Amino acid sequence: MKDIIIGCSQTGALLAIHLVNKGHEVTIIDRHEVAFKKLPGAFRGETIVGFGIDKEILESADIRMVDSVVSCTDNDETNALIASIAKNEYHVPRVVARIYDSRKAHIYQSFGIQTISPTMWGVQRITELLSNDQLDSVWVTENGNVELVRIEIPALLIGHPVSEISSLGEIKVVTIERENKAFIPVAGTVLNAQDHLYIAVDATAKGKLKAMMGLE
Which tens digits make up the pLDDT trace of 47-101? 999 999 999 999 999 999 999 999 999 898 899 899 999 999 999 988 988 887 7
Is pTM, for the whole model, over 0.85?
no
54: DSSP letter: -
In whole angstroms, how far apart are CA 215 and each of 14, 127, 138, 190? Answer: 24, 14, 18, 20
Q: What's the rounded Cα separation, in Å, for the pair 124 and 62? A: 25
**Domains of the chain, each with CATH number or no CATH:** 2-131 (3.40.50.720), 138-212 (3.30.70.1450)
Q: What's the rounded Cα separation, in Å, for the pair 120 and 60? A: 29
Cα–Cα–Cα angle for 121, 125, 128, nearest 5°? 150
**Contact assessment for residue 138 and residue 149, using Cβ atoms and an 8 Å cutoff:** yes
Helix (H, G, I), strand (E, B) or coil at 103: helix
Q: What's the rounded Cα separation, in Å, for the pair 64 and 160? A: 34
